[in-house]
Amino acid sequence: MDILRFITAGSVDDGKSTLIGRLLYDSKSIMIDQLEAIEKQTRNKLAGEIDLALLTDGLRAEREQGITIDVAYKYFSTNKRKFIIADAPGHIQYTRNMVTGASNTDLAIILIDARNGVVEQTRRHSIITSLLKIPKVVVAVNKMDLVDYSEDIYNNIVIDYQKVATSLGIKEITFIPLSALNGDNIVEKSERLSWYDGDSLLTFLENVETHQSVNLDIARFPVQYVIRPQTEHLHDYRGYAGKIISGIYRKGDQVIIQPSGTTSTVEKIELGGKEVEVAVAPQSIVLHLADDVDVSRGDIIVPAGQPCKTAQELDVLLCWMDSKKLQTGNKYILQINSKTVRCAVKHIAYRLDVNTLQKDEQVSTAALNDIVRATIKTAAPLPHDAYETLRSNGGAILIDETSCVTVGACMIQ
């Protein structure tokens, strides 16, 4: 049994909350007391059936306004998998939330209302999905009940969406016609959609190969913490604690510590206090080196023949997440895994319109929810990988030094 993390992109109007509610409800992940609570609210709203959307609208502020203001996480499991849903709102002002929710997911479900087909919002969600390099996409054509379960309408949407996907380079797409409200094709295959020969949504999610975003070809180990008991008994113990974010480490591997460039050999690997010969991503381990070298938090230990790129000038796609605008020239802190370095945004090449992919070059700043192509200068050389090659070592955040808030997400090109 493994874990599948996915994001659902769509607005309340597409029936996104209903879809999640339906998945939880039909997979028997909703408990009686939770159902009673939403039944009570449904009655308050004078609606008819149970409003499954209420299951995901967490905060009072949201319920009062009937919107979702932030990313919520939901959990359910079947015999095959544990699922973690990042539920991100789809309104235009929430690019920031979708980027956040999408950052560590293996799969995106993009909802389309069968009555409306591919709309501006569908493009926006797809663009963000492609920028964040989410490996798999499911296009859920929802509300099929409102178009009389029409195969023609569905087929036209598939053709329209494929054009969008081709222009964005999204390759692994699965289309599923469904009705979240009635439960068609959610858990069981629906007879009303008998012309569709694929799996139900849940069956697909249970079986889809995700690669787990684990790349065994490139090995990366950022050091988080140095364990030095300094007791009489363990006087010489010096272990580098961290999580392997990619690849595989073996005892005896020749390694380089970046950014210093010092070389050494893996002398010992500990996993949960036990010595092991081999460790793989995403295991958290303690690594010991054969030589007495200088290693501290923020350094990255990599195979000798496979160093990270190192640069002081980074070309990034930057999603701005703060209500205060980006100030070029201002100092920010850039954090990539456990490494922080001061930096400044030197230059903005263009702003990307997330609805059309058009590039506006007449910009000098970035506002909340903008995505810009920018050049960042760091105070010291920064080991990294291209986001396209390795998401886990190519994504970084920008922190405002004065407010301490996370203001931007960078995908290093």
CA 351/CA 326 separation, integer angstroms: 12
Q: What is the CA radius of gyration of the chain?
A: 24
* Cβ partners under 8 Å of residue 315, min gap 6: 373, 374, 375, 412, 413
5 vs 143 by CB, closer to another protein: 5
- Please, what is the minimum distance in Å from the beta carbon of residue 319 to another protein? 9
3 vs 293 by CB, closer to another protein: 3
- Please, what is the minimum distance in Å from the beta carbon of residue 225 to another protein? 5
How many Cα atoms within 13 Å fall on the side-chain side of residue 227? Answer: 13
- From residue 344, alpha-carbon distances to 249, 332, 348 in Å are 34, 6, 11
351 vs 391 by CB, closer to another protein: 391
CA 291/CA 1 separation, integer angstroms: 39
36 vs 360 by CB, closer to another protein: 36
- Please, what is the minimum distance in Å from the beta carbon of residue 33 to another protein? 3
- Please, what is the minimum distance in Å from the beta carbon of residue 132 to another protein? 9
Strand order in the sheet with 173-177: 72-77, 81-88, 2-9, 107-113, 136-142, 173-177
77 vs 155 by CB, closer to another protein: 77
Contact 106, 6 (CB under 8 A): yes
62 vs 145 by CB, closer to another protein: 62
- Please, what is the minimum distance in Å from the beta carbon of residue 4 to another protein? 10
- Please, what is the minimum distance in Å from the beta carbon of residue 137 to another protein? 19
Instruction: Give first-to-last CA distance, the chain, whole Å.
Output: 34
1-28 residues labelled b (16+ CB within 10 A) or e (exposed): eeebbbbbbbbbebbbbbbbbbbbbbbe
- Please, what is the minimum distance in Å from the beta carbon of residue 386 to another protein? 15
* Cβ partners under 8 Å of residue 125, min gap 6: 9, 10, 90, 98, 108, 110
243 vs 251 by CB, closer to another protein: 243
